Amino acid sequence: MRPAAALSLLPLLLALVGPAPSAGKDLEDLLWDFQVAPLDAAPAAPFALEALDGRRLSLAGLRGRAVLLYFWSST
């Protein structure tokens, strides 16, 4: 199939697929669906951790950046 012909079928394909299931939901409903806790506006407690390469990382050193902590396989 030629690229122009394939491109002309794209709107039809999008119309058949329809909107995403979450379309029209408000943020609170989406957070509930994905089991995400609401944002806590309180500042995080200061702490420091050792990185895999041995460097020391502190939360204060990451000020102004988005930080996601994921403690894999921790108990």
Asked if pLDDT for residue 18 goes beyond 80, the answer is no
Give the C-alpha separation, 18 to 4, whole Å: 23
Question: DSSP 3-state assignment of 26?
Answer: coil
What does the buried/exposed string (b/e) look like for 3-35 if buried means 16 or more CB atoms within 10 Å of the residue's CB? eeeeeeeeeeeeeeeeeeeeeeeeeeeeeeeee
pLDDT of residue 72: 78
pLDDT tens for each residue of 20-48: 665 657 777 877 777 777 666 677 889 89
| Per-domain boundaries in the chain | 3-62
Decide if 51 contacts 57 (C-beta within 8 A): yes
